[in-house]
Amino acid sequence: MASSSRVILESGGRNREVVGSFFRVSSLNVGTLTGNFLELVDELKKRHVDAVCVQETKWKGAKTKEANGFKLWYSGVVTNKNGVGIMLGTHLRNNVVEVNRFGDRVMMIKLVLDVVVVNLVSAYAPHAGLGDGEKK
């Protein structure tokens, strides 16, 4: 479910240094968040995930929701269809400097971690049963 990576900066020449510790990021097609939001939060906490990009939330609106130490930014146009979101642990939510929503299929959150800027993008691109124009 989660993959971990280190944030690495070039500090001149070939020298590298690790900034901070591990930053665990995951991406998950949830099918729907209705009735599953708290269960998802509990799993993320258990697995020590810092950030997760979720697809197919099926929630309408461009809003936020908080629960048990996580904050979700989400974007959806039609109830029960598509929708994307990005969830961050509370230790990261104050690092958010920008949120961009592009309909119900793409959104981006910009975080500042120490001296590094991280762009998290959640994208949902279903293609089953769609015409070529919509796929593009």
The answer to whether position 100 is within a domain reads yes
Residue % of the chain over a pLDDT of 70: 79
The answer to whether position 75 is within a domain reads yes
CB 73 within 8 A of CB 51: no
The answer to whether position 105 is within a domain reads yes
pLDDT digits (tens, 9 = 90+) for 81-114: 889 999 999 889 889 999 999 999 999 999 988 8
User: What predicted TM-score, i.e. pTM, was given to this entire model?
Assistant: 0.78
pLDDT digits (tens, 9 = 90+) for 8-36: 444 344 444 444 556 788 888 898 888 88
Residues 111, 31: Cα–Cα separation, whole Å: 26
Query: What's 47's domain CATH number?
Result: 3.60.10.10
Would you call 45 helix, strand, or coil by DSSP?
helix
Question: How much is the average pLDDT of 75-79?
Answer: 88
The answer to whether position 14 is within a domain reads no
The answer to whether position 132 is within a domain reads no
Predicted pLDDT of residue 134: 67
Predicted pLDDT of residue 71: 94
Within 10 Å of residue 78's Cβ, how many Cβ atoms?
10
CB 71 within 8 A of CB 99: no
CB 61 within 8 A of CB 85: no
